Amino acid sequence: MGKQWKEKLGILGTPPAGYARVAKSARRSSPSSLAVLVTGAAGFVGTHASLALKRRGDGVLGLDNFNRYYDPSLKRARHRVLERAGVFVVEGDVNDAALLRKLFDVVPFSHVLHLAAQAGVRYAMQNPASYVHSNVGGFVTLLEACKSANPQPALVWASSSSVYGLNSKVPFSEKDRTDQPASLYAATKKAGEEIAHSYNHIHGLSITALRFFTVYGPWGRPDMAYFFFTKDILKGKLITIFQSPDCGTVARDFTYIDDIVKGCLAALDTAKKSTGSGGKKKGPAQFRVFNLGNTSPVPVSELVAILEKLLKVKAKKKVLPMPANGDVKFTHANISLAHRDLGYRPATDLETGLRKFVKWYLDFYSKKSSW
């Protein structure tokens, strides 16, 4: 068991190069800055959040299993950007309890930003086990590690707008019902919220769940519609726009990555300390849930029109009824709670954000080998 993580951290030899890199990466610039373990650091949100934390002087250590759900070369390219910024990413799985123990032994993390997950709504039809593995099993393994750590870190983690499921009352408020998930992905995120509550209640862990609403931007996820629409429009391939079965508009509260990152950092900064220590609870701890959205849903057809304008290419498109694939018709965030408690105020409209995405996309895919 021990050998595996030692190899992963590169700490078999002397001097312990891997250990030194972990310690350096996690070093704070001042006693008041944070020491954050970012899981899913080579992912879309994880990369942006890690860079933002590092830029302002926090210590950051990344963890990611670099799985093949989407093009791993994109994750490797993000990883190179992180390394250049001084963020060390340990290659490992959140299900690896021994590895997590070691990381918590090496670094007294003040916070964990948990972003590692099997994302994507529709892929759950193909590979349900991967959702249970990462979003339920992996989350519990991480919570166990947080529970046993001394000091216990405050945890901020990514839930999802998908927990609102078939709820049709919009805009979605945190108090609205979330007991009708439309996909296994949503069900595992909802399960995560309930599991998190139990660790808060029993072990005094300070926990904040952030319900992200369809995040987009540079370094984004190739499985998401705005990303593969861009690719397919440029290639002259047919794209499919889903229409809801009642012929109504399908729309999303698309939220730009920089706004999401600001919300994540504000959640970390306002998180109160956990009240447990080494597995023992000392008092009631903070448990929070926030929507992080953009408050302005845009129809998918409008998303495509903006992409056509920015790419200067007319899309070949067809409109089909939405298949029973886990998608929901409409998302719209009420963000008053995040505004009140986190000072969260999204600042990027869809066209401005997509312009930045398209610029990155064209640059990245024209010079991919040099990243």
Ligand X SMILES: NC(=O)c1ccc[n+]([C@@H]2O[C@H](COP(=O)([O-])OP(=O)(O)OC[C@H]3O[C@@H](n4cnc5c(N)ncnc54)[C@H](O)[C@@H]3O)[C@@H](O)[C@H]2O)c1
Summarize as ranges the residues that interact with ligand X (CB under 6 A).
Answer: 39-40, 42-46, 64-67, 75, 93-95, 115-119, 134, 138, 158, 160, 212, 214-215, 221
- 256 belongs to the catalytic site: no
Binding partner of 250, given ligand X, ligand UGB, none, CB within 5-8 angstroms per partner class: ligand UGB
Tell me if 178 contacts ligand UGB by CB under 6 A: no
Sequence-distant (6+) residues with CB within 8 A of 171 are 295, 332, 333, 334
Q: Which is nearer to ligand UGB, 222 or 279 (CB)?
A: 222
Q: Which is nearer to ligand X, 210 or 285 (CB)?
A: 210
- Mapping DSSP to helix (H, G, I), strand (E, B) and coil, where does residue 156 land? strand
CB of 145 to ligand UGB, least distance (A): 24
CA 357 to each of CA 203, 221, 261, 296, 362: distance values in angstroms, whole numbers, following the listed order: 41, 11, 16, 19, 9
- Mapping DSSP to helix (H, G, I), strand (E, B) and coil, where does residue 172 land? strand
What distance in Å separates the CA atoms of residue 309 and residue 148, rounded to the nearest whole number? 53
H or E element at residue 299: strand 298-299
> x/- site string to ligand UGB, residues 256 to 295, per CB under 6 A?
----------------------------------------
Tell me if 160 contacts ligand UGB by CB under 6 A: yes
Q: Helix H segments across the chain?
A: 2-9, 17-26, 44-55, 72-84, 97-106, 128-131, 139-148, 184-203, 225-235, 257-270, 300-311, 336-342, 350-366
CB of 110 to ligand UGB, least distance (A): 27
CB of 267 to ligand X, least distance (A): 13
CB of 344 to ligand X, least distance (A): 15
Q: Which residues bind ligand UGB (CB under 6 A)?
A: 119-121, 160-162, 212-214, 224-225, 240-242, 250, 252, 300, 322, 327
